Amino acid sequence: MSTASTIKDTQLPTRPLGRTGMDITRVGFGAWAIGGPDWAVGWGPQDDEDSVSAIRHAIARGVNWIDTAAIYGLGHSEEIVGRALADLPLSERPYVFTKCGQVWDPNLRNTKFRVGKAASIKAECEDSLRRLGVERIDLYQMHWPAEDGTELEEYWQALLDLKAEGKVRAVGLSNHQVPLLERAEKLGHVDTLQPGLSAIHRAAAEKELGWCAAHETGVIVYSPMQSGLLTGRFSAGRVAGLPDSDWRSRHPDFTEHLARNLEVVDAMRPVAERHETSIAAVAIGWTLAWKAVTGAIVGARNPEQVDGWLDAPRLELSDEDLREIGEAIVASGAGEGPAFPE
């Protein structure tokens, strides 16, 4: 079962997640990559035992939440999260967050459809509860706006109903912009927003972060390392060696825009050296420097990768650090959105 109320204090800094009553560590374990290959947005081959070890290592190091989604690996990521948590004492289990609203044809693994019908949302919730092995999901989020003609009001009410029924503790929206947030808030409070945010993709900082701050809506950002690009470990050669089953091998961030994106990495390198930490931690720390951001979702495919970013929640970037990075972002022309955290 979910044990949100029994989680003890960890050694990592925490913040209240909006008005949900949950205090979360400033980094959470992101379970996208552990969904494995052979689906529309897979990350290439992945060893499930490494995935379980990575999750348990993150928990042992103090991370107190996991973010996954039904679509990741077409249910496989949720199953792996369930495996990793199954043998843990209730007092040591983290909060479990997942997402709905993307379904697939079981006979065509490369399919994904953004749906919002209430019946689908409620059926997806039951499937996620089963795969995760929990009695209640701590945070249930609509992954993207629906593309099947369903209005926001229908799927948001479905999530609110699941909350009222006790199937989920809190409800949120992912990848939704301010006009949709406003419509949802009229029906019932938007507990959380999950936007993408990194030093490369900064659009959410334009309006959504300010809206969330004004409405006491928690913010958990995804891809703070831009899917590994902001770790200092990528080059044109490494991109060329990615398997076809890794979605990054064909994404513009890693192909046509790679050179300018790596200029941002180069600006983070001296900052990391000054703080005696990793470039990955600096990239995550940059997202955490935005006042409205509660926490960042950070992926890992093995325990060593977890250790590569655990400095981030304690890292305090100075005004000078942020100025250097921001100026490099502007000069490079990388991405879009505000370049200086506030």
Question: String of b and e for 127-162 (b: at least 16 CB within 10 Å)?
Answer: ebbebbbbebbbbbbbbbbbeeebebeebbbbbbbb
**Catalytic choice (72, 95, 140, 222):** 72
Does residue 72 carry a catalytic annotation?
yes
Tokens of 87: 């043998």
Residue that the structure tokens 């999950």 belong to: 194
Residue that the structure tokens 């809506």 belong to: 217
CB 264 within 8 A of CB 230: yes
Name the nearest CA neighbour of 298 among 226, 233, 234: 226
CB 28 within 8 A of CB 22: no
Helix (H) or strand (E) holding 194, with range, is: strand 192-194
Cβ neighbors of 237 (< 8 A, separation 6 or more) are none
Catalytic residue IDs: 72
